[in-house]
Structure 1
Amino acid sequence: MATIDTALKEIMSSIEGSIGIAVVDYNSGMALGTLGGGPDLDLNVAAAGNTDVVRAKLRAMELLNLNEAIEDILITLSGQYHLIRPLTARSGKGLFLYLALDRNRANLAMARHQLKKIEADLEV
């Protein structure tokens, strides 16, 4: 089982094109841990903003009576991919991983695969 810090480091080092990663509490919008980012990507602001995305999707699913779980949410920008992955383990309830990728360097399918694998080992 990986801690938050270990998981963040593994994501940044093993997923090609990673710009920044955060573990976020979608009840408060607070980032519990971040790594990467920079002047063009404030991960704390992104964490709070993407909390609204997760909440909106959960509300929409409830209104539609969808009895499904969100695997991930993908936001495609002209130069970046943003992946949001709710944690599925009991200890991760109410949390999600937010990963920003450089679209020119990232392999989206591999990034999703790696993120799923790391998320499964994460202990919060």
Structure 2
Amino acid sequence: MNIESALKEAMAVDGTLGVALVDYESGMTLGTLGGGTELDLEIAAAGNTEVVRAKARTLAMLAIDDTIEDILITLGTQYHLIRPLSSSRGSLFLYLALDRSRSNLALARHALKRIEGVLEV
């Protein structure tokens, strides 16, 4: 599945406000869909790049030899889900912003895992 198809599939998850594929080494997006005036995906991508980098540094300092499956940030009205892709795909992560009142977090996590499995970059 190419990037455009993957982003469209992620947007189909109930309650999705926006989705991005991001390179956390550079902070640049490889693709975005959704967002708009309520969510600037370029700013979100850059900010979440710092979150992923900080967590990776923390794991290294703790000598935890494991990988991050996903990172969840809960707000009063939104969920922000960050899923780093397997290291064989470089330094990429999928970012999904959800409306908390219209989404199911477990289904969203499952959908991102499935999308990751078929995404070809």
**What TM-score bracket applies, with the shorter chain setting the length?**
over 0.9
In the alignment, structure 1 residue 81 sits paired with structure 2 residue 79 = yes
Gap runs ≥5 in structure 2 = none
Asked if the contact 1:18–1:99 (Cα under 8 Å) also holds between the matched residues in 2, the reply is yes
Q: Percent identity?
A: 64
Q: What is the root-mean-square deviation in Å for CA atoms of aligned residues?
A: 0.8
TM-score (norm 1): 0.95
TM-score (norm 2): 0.98
Asked if the contact 1:23–1:96 (Cα under 8 Å) also holds between the matched residues in 2, the reply is yes
Paired AA for residue 36 in structure 1: G
Task: Give the length in aligned residue pairs.
Answer: 121
Query: Partners of 1:116 and 1:122 in 2: how far apart?
Result: 10
Match of 1:102 in 2: 99
Deviation at 1:35, TM superposition (A): 0.1
Gap runs ≥5 in structure 1 = none
Deviations 1:48-98 (A, max 9, x none): 0100000000000000000111000000000000000001162x2200000
Query: Partners of 1:23 and 1:93 in 2: how far apart?
Result: 12
Asked if the contact 1:89–1:120 (Cα under 8 Å) also holds between the matched residues in 2, the reply is no
**Runs of 4+ with >2 A deviation:** none
